[in-house]
Each structure stands twice: as structure tokens, then as C-alpha cells.
Amino acid sequence: MAITELISGSVINAISVLYQTSTDPRDFQINQTKPEFEGDYTVVVFALVKKLRKSPDGLAGELGKYLTTSQSELFSAYNVIKGFLNLTIADAYWTSLLSEQYHNPIYGRGQTKNQKVMVEYSSPNTNKPLHLGHLRNNFLGWSCAEILKAAGYEVVKTCIANDRGIHICKSMVAWKKYAHGATPESTGLKGDHLVGDYYVKFGEVYKQEVAELVAEGKSTEQAEKEAPIMLEAQQMLVDWEAGKPDVIALWEKMNAWVYEGFEQTYKLIGSNFDKTYYESQTYLLGKDLVEEGLAKGVFFQKDDGSVWIDLTEDGLDQKIVRRRDGTSVYITQDIGLAELKYNEYHCKQSIYVVGDEQNYHFKVLKLICQKLGLPGADGMHHLSYGMVELPTGRMKTREGTVVDADDMVLEMIDMAEQKTRELGKVDGFTEAELVDLYQTLGLGALKFFLLRVDPKKRMIFNPEESIDLHGFTATFIQYVHARIKSILRKEGKVDRATLAEGITNLPVAATPLLTSIPVLYKLEKDLLIALEQYPGIIETAAVTHDPSLVAGYAFRLGQTFNSFYAEHSIAGAETPEKKLLRLAISEMTSHVLKSSMGLLGIRVPERM
């Protein structure tokens, strides 16, 4: 049980005993005590003052006296500052936690909740390679899934490949017209890059043709509709839907190139899925649900035969779910896919990791599924995230200005090598070890920078800033972990039995002026307080779907360890018992840093 839960239960019990009244955790707050005050945790009791007819100072003082008297094994001291009750947790609690958990590499993970959650992420189009925005999507989805697993959920990772539609046909038409049979093998390009080049080529030709038609006197709108290459792409889509053999064969060949390219990128960045759905296999889903919705009165039909839903009472507007010619729209297939996914996996919660430009779409999707009474509809959640920009501005795929994911990863690995060599930290490594180290540092810098920000916020990715050894970066945390491992190699790991005996015999400070200082010095306790909070961080990040909480925690833990290590010697500790204590704290910190960074998909090196 977390220390905050123990404090909460103790306060509730104290109020019951002292005032013969019941209360619950919502009637008061528990926060970590501010650094300028003495204590570990602060109980805010102002909301109880009126109910109990006590002054804030009086209530806080009576609670503090009762808690330290009745539970001296948990609370060793208290003070009251302007109605705030500051409690000092007994050292025995922290040393007991350390003795039990310092050797536990999976400390922090929650118990099984017997709930299944689906996380859908990546969801690329098969007409171009993954780009920087896809990296944020993949890192968010993968990390969210791993955090949910750590919190005790059973997780299914899925991806929907958008492998059909006019955007796919654009690449196909351009390749057919201009590639002269080029293949990944003949060009030496990854398949997704090759196909993406022809999507860009389509955009270039289309822009030129539109300009020529406008020069001939047509309006821009008319020129955009009549550009020959666009008409070819539209005809190809018709032919694909009709199953024309040569079109299907070309589609299958080019998609295969893209999938192979995607797989290489996923392997490089550490992204994986339990199930991939393909739009080409799901785009007809949902049609039966439209009929069902009409019968239930959820949908209505207009005079032209199109089918709609009216969501004005829900603060939205009317939304079409079937065109007048009987064809589906995107949201129709999304409704059908939601039903299919639930029937296959029966997940209580389904998380869609999609950019914030689709906020409206997912509000409508969830509402429709709820009104249709689809099982699992209440558990649908859109994990909306902001766009990633570079210092130079926004990216545009069709203009060829997009930042390619593969290029970005390789650039970060190269930058990691450059920074490491500049610092002269390559001695003692084999060439293979250096290659692995550069990849660990480069990928870690990229992932951490994209995950350290609240997903809802838009962000600017700065490669130089992301790999700063002294900044809010993975590099800093990785260095702290490597430093701890170096200490443990030099001083030796801690035997559990010896530790338990050593902690029991820890003396108070002997200097007369410091006789009131207990077993633990402030920075030792600060580090243990931070370590104790790790399970709660995982749980909160899982519930809020926010990996930035884990990133921020790992960084603060690294900072706290650095402060501790700068103040307190391990090799030259005051007593053998103190040395054992600090070695154990160091070992537990290394486990938690490795675990927390692992939840972000980031490795931490043993040395660097």
C-alpha cells in the first residue's frame, strides 16, 4: 500500500476516534511537504474545519498529536504551519521499504486487474514512408500499452493500415507513368521510400497540370478537377474497387514494398503489434449497422436517399453515415471496425492514438457507437496528441518537405556518436559496443523528447536540445544510470541478509549538534520518498494515458540521485552500515530508472 494511502487511512481513523464522525479521502488532501518546511507529507484539513467546528491550527494539532502517539511506528513527528499538518514518516518505514524492494527489478508493477485494453496506434498510409509525426504516434501508443501492462492490464496492440483509397492510387499512377519499372532492388531504396517518392511525383505533376489548365482560362477549382493525372487516379480507384486484375496486381506489389519498408522501421524504433487490420478488408464494414440504426431510429434518411445522424442535442451537428448512392463514408467503416475489434478481443477499453485534427471525428464515432448500443462503446477513448514541428516549421508530405522517420533516427544516432566522441567517452568499448551505445543514446534521445511533453500539447522537436547531457533528456538519465552501475561494480552489490542487519544497527548522528537527526539524512530520505512513489506514477500514467508522467518522474529521480551522491559518499561512508544503506538505495534507484525508461521504450546503458 502506498504511503499516501496509509496516511489517508490513518487520518480517517483519527477523525473517527477523536470526533466520532466519519469522513473519506475526498474531505482532505495529502501532498508532499514543500522543501522549505520540516516534514515528509502535508495533510490539508481546511475542508473539515466547518464540519468538525475546529480552527485549522487546532484540528491539525490534535490530529498530529494523535497520529504520532497512536502510530509512532509510522509517524515520528509533526508540526503545524498555518493550519497545514506536516507529518514526518518514521525512518523504519523507509528502511523497511528499502530492505524489501531494493533488489526487486520489477518493483512498481501493479497486480493483475483482469481487464483487457486495446491500444491502436501507428495506422500509416501505404503511399509513403513513416515521418516524424508517425514517430510521436508510435512512441505514444507503444509506451501507453507498456504502462498499462505494468499497471496490471492485459493489453492488445493493434494497427490499421490505410491501404486503399485515392491517396494510394496517386502513388500507383505516378509509378506506372514515370518509374520505368523501378523496384526497391533496382534502386537500392527501401520500398516505402520508393513508393513515397512517386506520391511526391504525383503532387508535382498535378500542380503543373493545374497551372497549365488555369493558364488556358479555367478556374482553379475546375482545373483541380480536370487535371489529367487526377482523373487517372480516380479511374484507378474505380478499377481497384471493381477488382480489375492488373490494378490489383500493381496494388499488391507496391503495398508489399511498403510493408517491408515499414517492418524495417518498426524493428529499428522498437514498435510492434499483436494484430494489424487492413482498410482494404474493413472498408465495407458497418453497412449492416446503418440498417440497424435506421430501424432503431438512431439514423434518419434524407429525401435524396443519404443516411444521417443528428447530434445537435449532443452539441455537435448532423453527420452523414451513408451516401445517397449507397456507399460508405470513413466513419461507417470505423463503426464496423469497432464492432469487429470488440467481438474479437472483448476489450473493456479501446484507445485510439490519433492526432488532434481528428478530435471531432472520434467524438462522433463514440457517440454513434453508444447510441447504437455497441458493446465496448463506453470504453472508447481518443488519445489525442498535438502536431510535431521542427524549428524550421511545419512539414508537408505532398511537397516533399516531410521529415522522414528513418532519416531522423539515423541523424540522432549519428549525433549521439558525435557527442560521445567529443566528450572522449569511447575508451574501453569495442566497435560493436560503440555501435550499440550510439543507437541506445540516439533513439533514447528521440523517444524521450517526443514523450516528455503532455500528449495534448503541440511541440517543436529540437535534435540538439534532445541529446544535451545536462538537460531534461534521456541522455541525462542514461548517464545517471551508468554512473550508478559503475558505483555498484566498484563497491559491490548488497547482500540482502547483511543489509537487513545493517539497517537495523544504523545509529543516529553522533555529533552533539545533530543528535536530533534520525537514521536517514535528508537526501537519503528524499531519494527513498521518490522511489516509493514509482508504483503510483505508473498507475496514474496508465489511467491518464500520459507517458510524460513517467518521463518527468525518471528525470526527477535522476536529479535526486545526483544531489544525494554529491552530498553523501558511498565508498567513504561514515559507517559500514551507512555504506550498505547507500549501496542499497543506489541499486534500487538503478532498477527504477531502468524500469521507468523501459516503459518509454528506452534502454539505459551499463556504462557510457
What does the pLDDT read at residue 577?
84
What does the pLDDT read at residue 423?
86
Residue that the C-alpha cell 496509509 belongs to = 6
Does 250 share its domain with 202?
Answer: yes
What does the pLDDT read at residue 49?
92
Does 235 share its domain with 304?
Answer: no
The whole-angstrom separation of Cα 122 and Cα 272 is 10
The whole-angstrom separation of Cα 383 and Cα 381 is 6
The string of pLDDT tens digits covering residues 586-608 is 999 999 999 999 999 999 999 98
The string of pLDDT tens digits covering residues 453-474 is 999 999 988 888 898 888 999 9
Does 300 share its domain with 235?
Answer: no
The whole-angstrom separation of Cα 198 and Cα 499 is 64
What does the pLDDT read at residue 501?
62
At 229, the amino acid letter reads I
What does the pLDDT read at residue 498?
65
Q: Percentage of residues in the chain with pLDDT exceeding 90?
A: 86
The C-alpha cell that represents 389 in the structure block:
514541428
The whole-angstrom separation of Cα 587 and Cα 589 is 5
The string of pLDDT tens digits covering residues 147-175 is 999 999 999 999 999 999 999 999 999 99
The C-alpha cell that represents 367 in the structure block:
457517440
Taking the alpha carbons at both ends of the chain, their separation in whole angstroms is: 36
Q: What is the pTM of this model?
A: 0.92
> 584 lies in a domain?
yes
Q: Say which CATH number the domain at 559 has.
A: 1.10.730.10
Where in the sequence is the domain holding 189, given as residue range(s)?
165-262
Domains in the chain, number: 4
Q: Average pLDDT, stretch 322-348?
A: 94
Q: Is the dihedral of CA 184, 188, 192, 195 positive or negative?
A: negative
Domain boundary among 89, 122, 145: 89
Q: Average pLDDT, stretch 223-251?
A: 96
Does 296 share its domain with 215?
Answer: no
> 27 lies in a domain?
yes
What does the pLDDT read at residue 500?
60
> 355 lies in a domain?
no
Q: Say which CATH number the domain at 41 has.
A: 3.30.1360.70
> 487 lies in a domain?
yes
The C-alpha cell that represents 386 in the structure block:
498535438
> 376 lies in a domain?
no
> 11 lies in a domain?
yes
What does the pLDDT read at residue 172?
98
Q: Average pLDDT, stretch 562-575?
A: 94
Does 528 share its domain with 467?
Answer: yes
What does the pLDDT read at residue 552?
98
pLDDT bin (cut points 50, 70, 90) of residue 400 is: very low
Residue that the C-alpha cell 561514515 belongs to = 574
If you average pLDDT over every residue of the chain, what do you get?
Answer: 92
- Residues whose CB is less than 8 angstroms from the CB of residue 182 and which lie 6 or more positions away in sequence, other chains included: 175, 194
Q: Average pLDDT, stretch 292-296?
A: 96
> 275 lies in a domain?
no
- Residues whose CB is less than 8 angstroms from the CB of residue 558 and which lie 6 or more positions away in sequence, other chains included: 476, 477, 480, 481, 593
- How many residues belong to the chain? 608
pLDDT bin (cut points 50, 70, 90) of residue 401 is: low
The C-alpha cell that represents 420 in the structure block:
560521445
Does 227 share its domain with 292?
Answer: no
The counts of H helices and E strands in the chain are 24, 14
What does the pLDDT read at residue 505?
57
The string of pLDDT tens digits covering residues 188-227 is 999 999 999 999 999 999 999 999 999 999 999 999 999 9
Domain boundary among 66, 89, 112: 89
Does 216 share its domain with 297?
Answer: no
The C-alpha cell that represents 476 in the structure block:
541525462
DSSP letter for 509, please. P
What does the pLDDT read at residue 575?
87
Does 466 share its domain with 590?
Answer: yes
Residue 278: beta bridge partners? 161
Does 516 share its domain with 449?
Answer: yes
Q: Average pLDDT, stretch 49-70?
A: 95
Q: Residue 548: which H helix or E strand, with range?
A: helix 548-567
Domain boundary among 308, 327, 346: 327
pLDDT at 518 over 90: no
Does 442 share its domain with 559?
Answer: yes
Does 409 share its domain with 475?
Answer: yes
> 145 lies in a domain?
no
What does the pLDDT read at residue 122?
96
CA atoms within 13 A on the CB side of 349: 21
Contact 584, 534 (CB under 8 A): no
The string of pLDDT tens digits covering residues 86-121 is 999 999 999 999 999 998 999 999 999 999 999 999
Contact 135, 446 (CB under 8 A): yes
The string of pLDDT tens digits covering residues 339-366 is 999 999 999 999 999 999 999 999 999 9
Q: Percentage of residues in the chain with pLDDT exceeding 70?
A: 94
Does 193 share its domain with 310?
Answer: no
The whole-angstrom separation of Cα 16 and Cα 503 is 35
Burial class for 221, CB neighbours closer than 10 Å (0-12, 13-18, 19+): exposed
The string of pLDDT tens digits covering residues 17-58 is 999 999 989 999 999 999 999 999 999 999 999 999 999 999
Strand order in the sheet with 318-322: 300-301, 307-310, 318-322
What does the pLDDT read at residue 54?
93
DSSP letter for 404, please. B
What does the pLDDT read at residue 443?
97
